[in-house]
Chains A and B, each alone.
Chain A
Amino acid sequence: MIFQGQNNPIEEFFTVLGYWDRIFSGFLATMWLYGWALMIGFFLGLFLALLRQYGGRIFSRFAAGYIEFIRGTPLIAQLFFIFYGLNIPIGQWYILTEFRIIDKEITFIFLNHRVLFGIIALSLNSAAYQAEYLRGSMMSVGTGQILAAQSLGMSRLACIRHVVLPQTLRRVIPSWSNEAAYLPKYTVVVSLVGATELFAQAKSIVSVTAISLTTYILVAIIFLVTIAIISKGLDIVHKRTGIPGL
């Protein structure tokens, strides 16, 4: 029997916890989206930053234009454009796996058209921001060192590989951690095209139990703890790779 209007927070909390399988499934989906978007965004962003900094006139303008466009339009709009606007006839299919934990059946969707477009939109978006973080770090490597590399006979490519990039990648960690901390929260928009990530699962729990405050607070706490762990992890990486004077 459900006591409508009974606001016992402890009871509510345990009711919500009863749906832990949905929460866990949603959390996995969120992390999956996040991980892929961050990684693809990084490599694409690095490519864009190099293009912007070292490309010829045409390429660097192209990269700059792309970055400006992505940064100037809302992520939701970009996602909807890719998902609904482009209308790519990819059909409804899925690749998933199911496993049991204790007594609950948990489905983890590796890929379906919602997840795919979600990852694409998030990656393209994240790449633009990461490109700017990386470019800022690149520029902080003084031109003097580049002159020195040239004076040794290093080609442009060798100079980027051996002088600029090692320093850039170490220096970018503090600003990059900004993106790493933001992105999990941005993955929520993919729920708007039907992917069953953490926020969508939260909504489904609310629709069943009518306990909204506790559910959303729980989700917020999950985000908070996850992002705190990620930030701390990056902090440790930054310290470990520290070089005096860099």
Chain B
Amino acid sequence: MREVSFNMKRNRSLSTRPGRIVLIVTILLIGILFHGFFNRLLQVIQIPLVSSATWITQRVGLFQDAEHLTQEEVARLKELEISYDLLVVQQDAMKSEYEQLKKTLGFVEKASVRPLGAAIVGRTNQDGQSRLVINRGAEDGIRVGAPVIVEQGLYVGKVRSVSQTQSIVSTLTDLDHATAVSLLNETRTIGLIKGLNGNLTVLDFIPLDEKIEVDNLVVTSGLEEFIPSGLLVGYVNTVRPDQNGPFQEAVVEPMIDIRRYSSVVVLLPLTL
């Protein structure tokens, strides 16, 4: 009887306004203290959600690609195929040269980065923001500024903030994002690439005497901490004069559509 009356009192105390506030504050405190555990718990739901929607996006993308290939695009693909073959030949030659140099100098190859796979658990692409939430955090060794790639070195973006169990990645097209890059033109133009609304990026403040052409490849320059050189960023889509000064700017189209990927790779320095 005494127990019943105690329970009734407890229920009554919870249904009052101060009781509710105490409960909400308690829940918030538990949430803050154990946020790592809750993040891991929520990721169990989030990973299949992202994977299933990415699967849909991939299928729709394939369908659209097949639908919209024009004669010009087919011709361009053929040209690219030829230049790819030439590159393979050049690469072979370079490989043997590299082997010789390695032997001559007694060079011991050291990989300077450690790849870490991560699943995407959330995204946003709104109001100029293009960010990903990944299921790896400080306890996996991730640091702010670490580069994020897909496949064999296609640059996605870099880590913007890190919590214990997950991290936020700002992708190339995010308005807040900037990465040091190099153009593969004659003069190897370097600069900062920034996000531009509409899934594009821009490389601005390029002196007018720099010769830039459409389809020039853009890669990371390696001048930024943590980000190695040679990660593929995109290719030049448009070159236009800067209306505010004696410069030109190049609109760069990213190599990848990140919505077609449900996982990424974070590159960490070996020292971490």
Instruction: Say whether A associates with B.
Output: no
Chain B residues close to A by CB (< 8 Å): none
